[in-house]
Structure 1
Amino acid sequence: MIRTLQQDSRFMKIVFIVIISLATVTMVITLVPGIFDNAEANDASVYATVHQPGFLGRFGSGTPVKMTEVNQMASRLLQQQHLPDFLLPYMTQRAGMMLVQRSILKNEADRLHLQVSDDDLRHELETGPFAQYLFPNGKFIGDEGYMNFVQSAFELSRSDFEAQVKSDMEISRLQALITGGTTVSDEAVREAYMANGTKVKFDYAVISSEDLGKTINPSDAQLQQFFEQSKARYATAIPETRKIEYVAFDASSLPGGKPQVTDAEIQAYYNQHIDQYQVKDQVKTRHILIAVPAGADAKTDAAAKAKAADVLKQVKAGGNFAELAKKYSDDPGSKEQGGELPMMPTAGLDPAYAKAAMALNPGQTSDLVRSQFGYHIIQTEQKQAAHTKPLEDVKAEIVPVLEQQKAGAAEQGFATALAAAAKSEGMDKAAAAKGLHVVTTDYVARDGVIPGLADGTALLTQAFTAAEGAAPAAVATGDGFAVFQVVDVKAAHAPDFADYKQHILDDYRQQQVPALLSTQLNKLADRAKALGDLHKAAAEMNIAVKTSDLVDRTAQVPDLGAMNGPGEVAFTLAKGAISGPINAGRVGVVLTVLDKQEPTPDDVAKNFEKTKQDLLQAQDDEVFRVYLGGLMEKYQKSGAIRYAKGSQTQPSLPSSGS
């Protein structure tokens, strides 16, 4: 808890000492280059350190942004957005920047005395989003339940969780302070709902860039001229290729065969990785839940308890547990399975539920158990106390790992020796001495394929950085190793016209299409307005006309795309009006409005408050984004953000998505 600093009679003395000391410190800064170089830059556990901006802030230790936090957030972002693993480096930088921004916001909140007390924290936990888990029906679940909840839900200690919540509350207070003055007029609310609530249906004529391209058929002379005028464009159109010779092998080619794993090695691996074989308490149960809504009053709670007691009486009288669960249980995830839950770690269950389930022997049924969700009747089917898996149970898992490790090390050593022999004796002689043979590729590009290799990516990457005739080198191939050498290089060069003619035609068409699309689109729009009829104008130009559904601004329309894009003009037109040319890139469109439905005054009134809140939120977000951007610039310019070596060399200002 942050205590209020107490001033005493020494205060003025300290002020004078600081003032006098500043002159000395300034001289030191001037005379000792690099005194403020990043001392923390060499700490691999730190992504960045955030100091207070300004002169005195450079003396403080600053707030570290830990690399573990960055990596954890990056992994979560990757999973949440369903992105491939190769984007992890990008996501790591993004996560690092988000945590740096958070640290800066925390600094500013502290500076403005927005700190959160322990009483504030307790009130938040009792009334905020965590209340239903920690204080069901206003009653604290206890320290043990609290710690279990924090660990299972967030994988944090209690102190770290509370520090995180306090930090979130501080930043929320800061945001409220910064955005407290934002307003939106009633007229703006009405206009926004009228715009967003309007729906249109329209006919639209579509001119396709792809179709137009097919009508562009230049002569060979025109293409030749285009090719000559675009020499710089085609100077390296044919990429560099290389001829490579290599010797590949896997574990089966090793002298003495595939390495064998000994019992002693298996035991040593087991001992070193004993943590991996710890099994937590697990239990398989059936249950009947009579739910109690969060925050329910005593009367509702009592009614649920009475109903649960009646069901329990039926169970103890010999009733079929599964049938009673299907009939009475309020748990939609298990009732159709007769209340059955799979075997699962108790850490993932409500603490009260887990304690009761583990106290029962298989086949036994509990009395009523109160959890955060309501009243349970629990029947334990199977349970497993925490224990360490014995070596004999996991040996089959360990052996392949050790075999792979030993084979990999043996292959690496063999590859190194083979490369050394090839350097002194030549590839052919070195390969023949080991019963292997040399393969020579055709000329292959950097993104090509090496025949006979499971994965030739690493070989190609190294081959395209090696000099022609450089000493043989070893590289992994997915299922083994290869020793390779670059024997010839063909530099990137311009293609022959005849061989590259189709590519040149495609490029020519791509260059000509935008102007042709604009011409045709303007012609269609002008003709449709002159005739007062889009269908007639489209028929004259042999262009198909389509009809949309009744859509709002959130809709997607075939060919035209999102209605909050170029097609948004439809919402500004009156019924029967014809649009001007709408260039959507790959297509051009002219449309005429068939129907237009605007919100009624009643619709506006019903949705007024929600629309107002949405507008205020958007405005608040924009105000706070600009504020954060200014803070970042201030901290960066003053050198208050010190990035660890390699974490980020050129931090960028936050985007609207930050």
Structure 2
Amino acid sequence: MIRFLQSKDNRFVKAVFIVIIGAAVITMVITLIPGIFQNEATTGDTYATVYPHWYSRFTFTGEQVTMTRVQEVAQQQLQRQKLPDFALPYMVQRVGQQLILQKLLLAEASKLGVEANDEDVRNFLHSGQYGQLLFPNGQFIGEDKYKQFISSQFQLSTADFEKELREGITINRLRSFITSGVTVNDSEIRDQYRKQNIKIKFDYAVISADDLRKQINPSDSDLQAFFTKNAARYANAVPEERKLSYFAFNANQIPGGIPQISPQEIQTYYNAHQAEYQQPEQARSRHILIKFPGGAAKTDAEAKAKADAILKQIQGGANFADLAKKESEDTGSGAQGGELGFARHGTMVPEFDSAIFSQKIGDTQIVKSQFGYHIIQVEERQTAHTQALAEVTPAIQVTLLRQKEAQAEQNYAQALATEAAHNGLAKTAAAHHLELVDTPSVSAQGVIAGLPDGSQVIAKAFTSKQGSEPQFAQTGEGYAIFQVTGITPPHAPVFADSKAQIAKDYADERLPMLLEQKTKDLAAKAKASGDLAKAAKEAGATIKTSDLVGDAGQVPDFGQVGSVAPDLFNLPVGGISGPINAQRTGVVAKILDKQEPSADEITKNLDQTRDQFLDQKREEVFGIFVSTTEDRFKKAKLIQINAKVAKSPDQGL
């Protein structure tokens, strides 16, 4: 090989080999030196970097997932799912993983040539789910209204919205491309329908984990041995605690009293926040709804006839509100005489929205939507306008007052903390007629009895050193100025003081094994004798009987049958199951009745089942593709997580 490379007649081949060897060396460096390309993934707003190809790591052309976007989406999902604020770190982790996965799929779509383009986005906006809103009667609503709609609905710029839309279309195309070859035959469909529609009724013997727990009665020597064996587990079982000295004040104790708001300040704030006082065009209306489907009318024609009859009564002088209370199938507005209040453009279904912004004030017309027939009367419309200063002055006064109070409180707290750093907490508290309090030891999850909300004080205290300069934190009704005066590090509990918790841990460890063994013994005895009731009585289990249930049926002390024990559907009548692990119970079941769909019923539902089963198989195939793609990117080290994110306890990464 060396001689070959040294040959004067092989300059081109030599150059090729140099490139190959050079690439190999660089690849070895990347593989063998962890973190060599970590810098770009650990700075700024980057949550993660995804490299589409191995060589893109050389050119630093990775796709960025930003922390800002992860936080935005996580907050939106938190609000949409109505989850508490403390769930945010977990939502951030989940969203981060989703956005990384999205980048991987987009990279694969690019390789396979199935990316969407601008024309695809335009076509979707015209004919997709937003088509009627953005192009009513085929006419674009205009750039300004388009921007307003995207901002209000998605909190995005139009450029970002269209980018995300393009990516969504691309991933859907990728899914279609990957699953295009998936097929199902009639035999599979028939078997699937049969399995989904078998119904069974069964007796089941229940061994309760709570009942078994009562049978676990360790002696003191057993617990002491367990405590000693698990010394590492209990080494820090008692969390760190801290003692504090503090004094606190509220807004009423700030020197100078409550701040005043001048007319000039109100005017300045109003001028600087004009965008907040822009009122879009809106219309106030009322309606009477005759539902179809879902209402009393059996046919569309019957619903339309009833709506026509009500309209004639109104046109003849009948009271709209009285008819709404009597006839409307929208029970919410019907009870209010049909009143819907003011609505902005785009907040109602398209047909209703078009009507209330085009009908004459006072006119009553019938409009059909996906909900049925609406008898609509427009009562008032307001053009887009800016609220006058007089309208919003009270709200501005409240806002400015809160801002000034908050600033005054913070300034006073800072001044007291500075004074306490020179004179000590005790002298500073006395000089300002505030009470100095010494707390007992408090944990990071504890409370301070003398404060309305001591969580911020405790949080700061657990990041401070004992004897460090005084700090301040909000208390819900002002601020506290405090110092850490004592620290008790985490430690093992005294056995005598923690015997109850140790006994619980002891039982928790042994309970699963005991439940498993008891359920196995019960199943073996029941199968040997063929008598589940007798075996259950000997084992101290409770016998219950299910209803006739299918795959999705829920059974008390058991759960969803298809998830917990799918094999039950394969047993014959009289068959006895093996041990089943259910919801904190051990279960053994005996089939009493079994009903399978007939051949005619299967044939009748063949097409519907084919669509459902095909969708299911496509999802399974695409899920495997996604999982394989993710594993491949991970093995090739093409996913770089921000080191700070990875180390953050909040992210769990």
1:396 and 2:394 aligned: yes
Q: In the alignment, what sits opposite 2:345?
A: 346
Counterpart amino acid of residue 505 in structure 1 = A
Q: Where in structure 2 are the equivalents of 1:79-118 lying within 5 Å?
A: 79-114=79-114
CA distance in 2, matches of 1:187, 1:600: 15
Compute the displacement of 1:376 (Å).
7.5
Match of residue 198 from structure 2: 198
- Written as runs of structure 1 = structure 2, the 5 A alignment for 1:155-554 is 166-287=166-287, 318=317, 320-321=319-320, 339-349=338-348, 357=356, 362=361, 364-365=362-363, 378-554=376-552
CA distance in 1, matches of 2:123, 2:165: 12
Deviation of the 1:370 alpha carbon = 9.3
Select between 588-597 and 566-575 the one with higher mean Cα deviation: 566-575
Structure 1 residues 513 and 375 mapped into 2: Cα distance closer, same or farther (>3 Å)?
A: closer
- CA offsets per residue over residues 596-654 of structure 1, 9 Å max, x none? 1222222322333333333322222232233334444555666766777867789xxxx
Check conservation: 2:132, 2:350, Cα contact below 8 A. no
Range with bigger deviation, 94-103 or 576-585: 94-103
Listed as ranges, the matches of 1:617-632 within 5 Å are 617-632=615-630
| 1:383 CA drift (Å) | 2.5
TM-score of the two chains, using structure 2 as the length reference: 0.79
1:424-474 deviation per Cα after TM superposition (whole angstroms, max 9, x unaligned): 222111100111011111122221110121111121122223222222211
Aligned match of 1:15? none
CA–CA separation in structure 2 for the residues paired with 1:412 and 1:38: 38
SS at match of 1:483: strand
Whole-angstrom distance in 1 between the partners of 2:224 and 2:603: 66
Distance 2:121 2:105 in 1: 19
Whether the 8 Å CA contact 1:356–1:366 is kept in 2: the answer is no
Query: In structure 2, what is the equivalent of residue 653 of structure 1?
Result: none
Distance 2:422 2:528 in 1: 84
Kindly provide the amino acid, as one letter, of the partner of residue 583 in structure 1.
Answer: N
User: Cα gap change, 1:271/1:646 in structure 2, threshold over 3 Å: closer, same or farther?
Assistant: farther
- The 3-state SS of whatever aligns with 1:508 is helix
- Contact 2:56–2:62 under 8 Å retained in 1: no
The alpha-carbon deviation at position 477 of structure 1 amounts to 1.4
Q: Supply the distance in 1 between the matched residues of 2:608 and 2:591 (Cα, whole angstroms).
A: 29
Deviations 1:281-311 (A, max 9, x none): 2221235789999xxxxxx99x999999998
Rounded Cα–Cα distance in structure 1 between residues aligned with 2:424 and 2:52: 63
Q: Distance in 1 between matches of 2:96 and 2:236?
A: 39
Moved more, 336-345 or 260-269: 336-345
- Residues 463-500 of structure 1: per-residue CA shift (max 9 Å, x gap): 22322222221111122111111222223333333322
Distance 2:434 2:569 in 1: 73
In 2, the alpha carbon distance for the partners of 1:229 and 1:388 equals 73
1:404 Cα shift?
2.1
Answer with 161-170 or 410-419: which moved more. Answer: 161-170
Shift of residue 360, structure 1, vs aligned partner: 6.6
How many residues end up aligned between the 2 structures? 621
1:610/1:259 CA distance change after superposition, 3 Å = same
Contact 2:558 2:583 in 1 (8 A): no
Q: How far apart are residue 251 of structure 1 and its match?
A: 1.2
Go from structure 1 to structure 2 and tell me whether the alpha carbon gap of 1:513 and 1:383 turns closer, same or farther (over 3 Å shift). same
Contact (CA 8 Å) 1:557, 1:563: kept in 2 or not?
yes
Quick one: structure 1 residues 199 and 476, their matched pair in 2 at CA, closer, same or farther if it must change by over 3 Å? same
Identity of aligned residues (%): 44
Match of 1:562 among 560, 563, 569: 560
Q: Which amino acid aligns with 1:524?
A: L
Q: Structure 1 stretch 449-458 or stretch 193-202: which is displaced more?
A: 193-202
State the distance in 2 between where 1:408 and 1:152 align. 30
Which of residues 575, 579, 582 is equivalent to 1:581? 579
Query: Aligned in 2, Cα 1:369/1:118: closer, same or farther, shift over 3 Å?
Result: farther
Q: Which whole-Å CA distance do the structure 1 matches of 2:371 and 2:158 have between them?
A: 22
Per-residue Cα deviation, 1:236-288 (whole angstroms, up to 9, x for no partner): 33332222111111111112223333322222222222211221122212357
CA distance in 1, matches of 2:199, 2:290: 45
SS in 1 for 2:138: coil
Describe the shift of the 1:392–1:121 C-alpha distance in structure 2 as closer, same or farther (beyond 3 A).
closer
Write the distance in 1 (CA, Å) between the matches of 2:493 and 2:570: 51
SS at match of 2:618: helix
Q: Specify the SS of the correspondent of 1:596.
A: strand
Shift of 1:98: 3.3
Moved more, 421-430 or 609-618: 609-618
- Tell me the distance in 1 between the aligned counterparts of 2:234 and 2:312: 85
Contact 1:133 1:372 survives alignment (8 Å): no
Identify unmatched segments of 5+ residues in structure 2.
Answer: 1-15, 294-299, 649-653
Extract unaligned runs of 5+ from structure 1: 1-18, 294-299, 651-658
2:499 counterpart letter in structure 1:
K
Amino acid at match of 1:342: G
The range that moved more, 337-346 or 319-328, is 319-328
